[in-house]
Amino acid sequence: METREVTLNPGASQEVIFTFTPEMAKDYAVSVNGLTGTFRAYCFIEVVASKNS
């Protein structure tokens, strides 16, 4: 789990970016200061065709 602590003055804002590389395709939960949500990671497979001589 990655965490960051940010202290802001009233009325201020700051962008905070987290990078996550999922190990498998599934739904993941996220929580920020008591706010929760989910996101879905997908697995894509690339198929490459080759010519046989």
pLDDT, position 53: 59
Q: How far apart are CA 53 and CA 51, in angstroms?
A: 6
Q: How far apart are CA 29 and CA 36, in angstroms?
A: 7
Domain range summary for the chain, segments of one domain joined by + = 17-53
What share of the chain in percent tops pLDDT 70?
98
Q: What is the pTM assigned to this prediction? A: 0.54
pLDDT, position 40: 94
Q: Tokens for 18? A: 């987290």
What share of the chain in percent tops pLDDT 90?
38
Q: Tell me the mean pLDDT in the region 20-32.
A: 89
